[in-house]
Amino acid sequence: MKVSVVIPVYNQCQLTERCLQSLLKHSKLLGEVTVIDNASRDNTALILNDFKEQFTQTGVSFQVISNSENVGFGRACNQGIRIFLKGQAQYLVILNNDTWLMPDWDQALVDTLNSKHLDCVGPYFYEKPISENISLIAKKFITRNAGKTRKHFVPILMCFTRSAAVRLASDCAGSNGAMFDERYFVTYEDTDLLTRMKKMNMKYAQSGSCFIWHHSKGTRDQLPSGYEQEGLRLFIEKWGFDPRIQEHTLMAKWKRKYYKTIEKIGLF
């Protein structure tokens, strides 16, 4: 079993460096990594070149696609997904660069996919300030929550089976054979993807067997203004409803309150 990881990046090289360090050190099933650099203006290119050598030494294919302009999250992901679809890896991971991954994160997600017969799975994500104790925090969480799942979509890290990725790529008109609708720049491309997954009766979940750290909106502060409003407009135009309404139902509010309560005592 091999995992192919696709990571779009735009500046914030320090976050990319931490992400790749954990990916290099903590992966068990990793076969290939594709990083799409959306015209970063910092030291991202230098860092990626250094990591290419490190990953290659471990036998992992590492390639960088350098865009001349920022083409957005979905289109950048599609560039990497097309490489996955041409290859032999059995699992596809779409990963945000503002993350840290626990040891054997990929094995945990693949095991959950297979044991629960899912199409897509995501990890539990921790968004408090990161510290030197993050490994201990992760270990404690896993000890208490391994094996648990809940129906929740995690766009920060999406792990798909190959068959699910192929189905989604075939279903996405205008993407030239990949998974994301490229009309979205950043935001709502994941909501669009989830909406399509639901219509296709795909099964997804969040796993208590995998823990990651996430820097909330770690790269969003450098993006052009108005991108969220444009994404929302495109979504409503395409699907005919405002997805924010679902977040304000009594059930959605109750679930958020419930999960916040149990998370305070380290449960999932």
pLDDT of residue 223: 61
- pTM of structure: 0.94
CA distance 112 to 204: 10
CA distance 187 to 189: 6
pLDDT of residue 226: 73
pLDDT of residue 267: 83
31-49 tens-digit pLDDT: 999 999 999 999 999 999 9
Residues of the chain below pLDDT 70: 217-225
pLDDT of residue 254: 84
What are the structural domains, with CATH classification, of the chain?
Answer: 3-243 (3.90.550.10)
pLDDT of residue 193: 97
Contacts of 51 (CB under 8 A, 6+ apart): 17, 20, 24, 62
169-222 tens-digit pLDDT: 998 877 788 999 999 999 999 999 999 999 999 999 999 999 999 997 655 555
